[in-house]
């Protein structure tokens, strides 16, 4: 899509725009440049998976574009990068017909099936050997996209194949779908393309973690996650799901006026010779004469097509070889595939071969072995989590499944067990896709002998014996005894875990062992472990003790957001922890935050705010924080710390009242020159309010938001070092 020369130029332009926007906001003259640059970086991020700038730098450019468009709304165009974001909620998804019905694919499961299909295909085509294009079969939700005059017109779900739900606003949230694609370069006016929307494995895991955090049942697989996400009414939520799309088929097009045939050659309206075309063929661009050509075209137009993943081969043996070769890569791919698709490469042959009412005769799916197995459900154990949640875990006869032996499968909560109607003694179908955690698809009810027994949920905590409760509106039973040993140990494990304080060599097993031996009772205990006793344990040599001590010592310097996440405050995931860390200069500042202050923070809703508020009002928690600080842990936020040496990068400022030593405009210029940003009102986004004489309501408002630092003019001058 972008040549190396274009890449170099756009990167240069990016630097220039970033530098220029540091001193003052960009003007409307930079509108086209900004849009080009932002589109380019979206492409590097979403299609190439190789960004050239950081997220904050991208956000900075995006904000500049938003700013110009806010000042000049008449210059907004539908393909501007800002126009992905829809305002408000989608009311309903109207039903919309596809231009061409979306057929399914015939399936094959083994070599014999494929050889038989190849034989039939060769007969239909009347050829000894066929050229095939082989590509992955993406396991997501299929969509059709229509572009008219180079602009994305609509996106529709598969539906019943003839018509689906129009979900254009949600499709616009997918960064790998271009809002504008130069189909006109290929002489095309109206184009319908097909593809698959996916949630990659990593985002799927993160999403399920978030659901777990809120005690919601996780989704079974990324396919369901993608399909469900496309039907969300709030496009901003769709955007947060980080969906991706592969486009793999051009299903319909009309050609533009002005394209014609001259002496058997197709000529563009500009008179450019596009190559030879046989007399009876439709005058189309050569790219559209083969499937691989259309994948190349889509790629060149900025779509993510299986351009690198596909292979064009001659004969069915080479097809089989590629299918087997690709299957080996399956687990290492960032997204799920469930097989390969084999397509006759020539579009003329495809037309000749035609289709049944159900599927095209020129394509077939080669399905990989299902990652399912059957086993017997022997018993259900009930585990107590960090927040006291009780999780039923199925113990099944060990069964090999995509490279590992599975013997333990989470059943998530009581509702899931009821819904699936599971019984002890059942034969169960277990599935495990890639590195996705295994789950029970269903019991094989028809194989029941009558000896199966019901799964009985406990009424009391299996660890501390306290009575369990189920808060209204929640699916999960809970042990509410915060001193329940099971919870305490899980809290310590979470605190030390990779995404929290990242204390290497202090994993699950060691924490549990030390806890059982009484070496460790709570989180602060991590920082005064009895090393003399640990030394006597088997498997703890000097070296491993030194490693452990070193890792624990290093963790004291972890940034504040990791500590906040590690505290395990309910509903506070990694992202919220970062938001919280950026809002204070010291963790205990949160004691002064009202519920409203908390809700003013980005993406903090009432549920999170209430949880954080309660946490910082609890005396035991306060004592815990004091103890951690006295042990040398870092409770200060780097962001809130005063900027050094006039570097105000990323900090926000507002002046109020009359300044005595500086002119207001000079002071503002100083802020911008040093990389700071000016805000027009008091909000939790403000870092510094500089107060001159006779300051009024802004000062009063700022006093109520503890994260804002209120400086006098003299203090400001000192801060910027002038």
Place of tokens 């949630």: 199
Q: Name the one range near ligand IVH by CB under 6 A: 33-41, 131-139, 253-261, 371-379.
A: 131-139
What is the distance, to the nearest Å, from the Cα of residue 451 to the centroid of all Cα atoms in its chain?
45
Distance CA 443, CA 426 (A): 6
In a 3-state reduction of DSSP, which class is residue 159?
A: coil
194 binds ligand IVH (CB under 6 A): yes
Q: CA of 663: how far to CAs of 517, 657, 670, 694, 718, in Å? A: 67, 12, 11, 16, 16
Q: Select 135 or 426, whichever has its Cβ closest to ligand IVH.
A: 135
Q: Select 252 or 382, whichever has its Cβ closest to ligand IVH.
A: 252
Q: Please select the residue that binds ligand IVH; options are 42, 69, 118, 135, rule is CB under 6 A.
A: 135
Distance CA 221, CA 305 (A): 23
Q: Please select the residue that binds ligand IVH; options are 133, 188, 363, 468, rule is CB under 6 A.
A: 363
Query: DSSP string spanning 474-526?
Result: -S--EE--TT-HHHHHHHHHHHHSTTTT--TT--HHHHHHHHHTTS--SSGGG
Minimum separation from the CB atom of position 415 to ligand IVH (A): 30
Q: Please select the residue that binds ligand IVH; options are 297, 316, 341, 567, rule is CB under 6 A.
A: 341
- The H or E element spanning position 131 is strand 131-138
309 binds ligand IVH (CB under 6 A): no
User: Is the Cβ–Cβ distance between 565 and 209 less than 8 Å?
Assistant: no
Minimum separation from the CB atom of position 359 to ligand IVH (A): 7
Residues paired with residue 395 on neighbouring β-strands, in sequence order: 379, 408
347 binds ligand IVH (CB under 6 A): no
361 binds ligand IVH (CB under 6 A): no
Let me know if 693 is exposed, middle or buried by CB neighbors in 10 A (0-12, 13-18, 19+).
Answer: exposed
How would you classify the pairing of strands 131-138 and 337-344?
A: antiparallel
Minimum separation from the CB atom of position 434 to ligand IVH (A): 16
Distance CA 444, CA 378 (A): 14
Place of tokens 């995006």: 62
Q: Please select the residue that binds ligand IVH; options are 61, 96, 105, 484, rule is CB under 6 A.
A: 105
Q: Please select the residue that binds ligand IVH; options are 30, 44, 137, 175, rule is CB under 6 A.
A: 137
Q: Please select the residue that binds ligand IVH; options are 90, 108, 142, 203, rule is CB under 6 A.
A: 142
Q: Which of residues 220-259 bind ligand IVH (CB under 6 A)?
A: 248-249
CA geometry: angle 551, 555, 560, nearest 5 deg = 165
124 binds ligand IVH (CB under 6 A): no
| DSSP 8-class letter at 315 | S
| DSSP 8-class letter at 600 | T
User: Is the Cβ–Cβ distance between 639 and 708 less than 8 Å?
Assistant: no
Active site residues: 137
Distance CA 324, CA 340 (A): 10
Q: Count of residues binding ligand IVH (CB under 6 A)?
A: 15
The beta strand positions in 158-242, using DSSP E, are 163-165, 188-198
| DSSP 8-class letter at 460 | B
Binding-site string for ligand IVH from residue 601 to residue 620, where x marks contact by CB under 6 A and - marks none: --------------------
104 binds ligand IVH (CB under 6 A): yes
Minimum separation from the CB atom of position 398 to ligand IVH (A): 32
Residue 554, both tokens: 């290093």
Minimum separation from the CB atom of position 304 to ligand IVH (A): 12
Mapping DSSP onto H, E and C, the string for 395-438 reads EEEEEEECCEEEEEEECCCHHHHHHHCCEECCEEEEECCCCCCC
Q: Please select the residue that binds ligand IVH; options are 69, 150, 196, 597, rule is CB under 6 A.
A: 196
Q: Please select the residue that binds ligand IVH; options are 247, 323, 365, 520, rule is CB under 6 A.
A: 365
2 binds ligand IVH (CB under 6 A): no
Q: Select 138 or 253, whichever has its Cβ closest to ligand IVH.
A: 138
Q: Select 338 or 426, whichever has its Cβ closest to ligand IVH.
A: 338
Minimum separation from the CB atom of position 250 to ligand IVH (A): 10
Q: Select 105 or 496, whichever has its Cβ closest to ligand IVH.
A: 105
User: Is the Cβ–Cβ distance between 121 and 130 less than 8 Å?
Assistant: yes
Distance CA 485, CA 403 (A): 34
Distance CA 98, CA 100 (A): 5
Phi, psi for residue 402 in degrees, rounded to 5: 35, 60
Distance CA 566, CA 494 (A): 6
Phi, psi for residue 615 in degrees, rounded to 5: -60, -45
Q: Select 192 or 426, whichever has its Cβ closest to ligand IVH.
A: 192
Q: Name the one range near ligand IVH by CB under 6 A: 133-141, 454-462, 484-492, 711-719.
A: 133-141
Q: Name the one range near ligand IVH by CB under 6 A: 263-271, 359-367, 457-465, 687-695.
A: 359-367
Minimum separation from the CB atom of position 109 to ligand IVH (A): 13
Distance CA 528, CA 373 (A): 47
Q: Name the one range near ligand IVH by CB under 6 A: 15-23, 135-143, 425-433, 697-705.
A: 135-143
Residue 252, both tokens: 């319909």
Q: Please select the residue that binds ligand IVH; options are 58, 132, 138, 326, rule is CB under 6 A.
A: 138
Q: Which of residues 3-32 bind ligand IVH (CB under 6 A)?
A: none
Q: How many other CB atoms sit within 10 Å of the CB of residue 674?
A: 20
Q: Select 12 or 104, whichever has its Cβ closest to ligand IVH.
A: 104
317 binds ligand IVH (CB under 6 A): no
660 binds ligand IVH (CB under 6 A): no
Minimum separation from the CB atom of position 301 to ligand IVH (A): 18
Minimum separation from the CB atom of position 335 to ligand IVH (A): 11
Q: Select 291 or 432, whichever has its Cβ closest to ligand IVH.
A: 291
58 binds ligand IVH (CB under 6 A): no
User: Is the Cβ–Cβ distance between 401 and 438 less than 8 Å?
Assistant: yes
103 binds ligand IVH (CB under 6 A): yes
Q: Select 105 or 266, whichever has its Cβ closest to ligand IVH.
A: 105
360 binds ligand IVH (CB under 6 A): yes
291 binds ligand IVH (CB under 6 A): no
Q: Name the one range near ligand IVH by CB under 6 A: 358-366, 452-460, 533-541, 560-568.
A: 358-366
Minimum separation from the CB atom of position 665 to ligand IVH (A): 59
Residues that bind ligand IVH (CB under 6 A): 103-105, 135, 137-138, 142, 194, 196, 248-249, 341, 360, 363, 365
């Amino acid at each position: 899509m972008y040549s190396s020369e274009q890449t170099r130029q756009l990167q240069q332009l990016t630097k220039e725009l970033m530098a220029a926007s540091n001193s003052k906001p960009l003007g409307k003259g930079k509108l086209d440049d900004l849009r080009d640059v932002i589109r380019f970086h979206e492409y590097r991020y979403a299609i190439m998976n190789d960004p050239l700038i950081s997220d904050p730098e991208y956000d900075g450019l995006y904000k500049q574009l938003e700013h110009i468009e806010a000042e000049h709304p008449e210059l907004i165009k539908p393909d501007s990068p800002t126009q992905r974001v829809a305002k408000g909620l989608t009311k309903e998804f109207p039903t919309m017909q596809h231009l061409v019905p979306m057929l399914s694919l015939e399936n094959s499961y083994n070599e014999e099936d494929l050889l038989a299909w190849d034989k039939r295909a060769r007969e239909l085509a009347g050829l000894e050997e066929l050229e095939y294009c082989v590509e992955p079969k993406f396991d997501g939700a299929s969509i059709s996209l229509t572009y008219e005059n180079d602009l994305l017109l609509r996106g529709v779900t598969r539906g019943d194949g003839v018509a689906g739900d129009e979900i254009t606003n949600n499709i616009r949230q997918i960064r790998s779908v271009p809002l504008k694609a130069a189909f006109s370069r290929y002489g095309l006016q109206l184009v319908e393309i097909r593809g698959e929307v996916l949630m990659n494995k990593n985002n799927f895991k993160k999403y399920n973690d978030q659901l777990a955090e809120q005690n919601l049942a996780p989704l079974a697989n990324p396919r369901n996650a993608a399909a469900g996400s496309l039907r969300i009414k709030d496009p901003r939520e769709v955007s947060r799901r980080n969906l991706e799309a592969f486009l793999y088929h051009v299903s319909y097009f009309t050609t533009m006026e002005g394209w014609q045939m001259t002496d058997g050659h197709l000529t563009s309206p500009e008179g450019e010779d596009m190559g030879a075309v046989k007399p009876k063929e439709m005058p189309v661009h050569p790219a559209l004469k083969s499937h691989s050509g259309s994948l190349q075209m889509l790629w060149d137009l900025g779509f993510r097509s299986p351009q690198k993943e596909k292979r064009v081969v001659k004969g069915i043996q080479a097809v089989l070889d590629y299918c087997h070769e690709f299957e080996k890569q399956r687990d290492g791919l960032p997204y799920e595939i469930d097989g390969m698709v084999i397509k006759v490469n020539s579009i003329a042959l495809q037309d000749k071969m035609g289709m049944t009412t159900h599927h095209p005769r020129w394509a077939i799916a080669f399905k990989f072995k299902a990652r399912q197995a059957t086993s017997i459900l022997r018993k259900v154990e009930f585990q107590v989590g960090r927040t006291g949640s009780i999780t039923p875990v199925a113990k099944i006869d060990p069964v090999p499944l995509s490279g590992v032996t599975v013997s333990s499968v989470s059943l998530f909560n009581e509702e899931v067990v009821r819904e699936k109607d599971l019984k002890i003694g059942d034969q169960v179908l277990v599935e495990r896709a890639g590195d996705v955690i295994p789950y029970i698809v269903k019991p094989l009810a028809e194989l029941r002998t009558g000896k199966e027994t019901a799964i009985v949920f406990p009424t009391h905590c299996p660890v501390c014996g306290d009575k369990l409760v189920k808060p209204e509106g929640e699916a999960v039973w809970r042990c509410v005894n915060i001193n329940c040993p099971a919870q305490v140990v899980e809290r310590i494990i979470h605190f030390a875990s990779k995404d929290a304080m990242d204390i290497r060599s202090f994993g699950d097993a060691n924490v549990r062992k030390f806890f059982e031996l009484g070496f460790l009772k709570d989180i602060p205990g991590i920082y005064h472990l009895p090393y003399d006793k640990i030394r006597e344990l088997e498997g703890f040599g000097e070296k491993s003790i030194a490693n452990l001590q070193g890792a624990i010592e290093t963790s004291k310097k972890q940034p504040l957001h990791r500590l906040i996440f590690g505290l395990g405050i309910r509903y506070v995931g990694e992202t919220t922890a970062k938001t919280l860390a950026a809002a204070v200069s010291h963790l205990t500042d949160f004691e002064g935050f009202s519920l409203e202050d908390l809700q003013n923070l980005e993406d903090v809703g009432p549920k999170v705010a209430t949880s954080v508020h309660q946490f910082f009002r609890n005396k035991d928690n306060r004592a815990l924080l004091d103890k951690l600080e006295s042990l040398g842990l870092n409770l200060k936020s780097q962001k809130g710390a005063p900027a050094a040496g006039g570097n105000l990068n990323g900090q926000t400022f507002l002046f109020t009242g009359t300044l005595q030593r500086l002119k207001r405009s000079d002071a503002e210029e100083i802020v911008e020159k040093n990389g700071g940003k000016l805000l027009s009102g008091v909000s939790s986004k403000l870092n510094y309010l500089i107060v001159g004489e006779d300051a009024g309501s802004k000062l009063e408002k700022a006093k109520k938001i503890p994260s804002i630092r209120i400086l006098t003019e003299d203090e400001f001058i000192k801060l910027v070092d002038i």
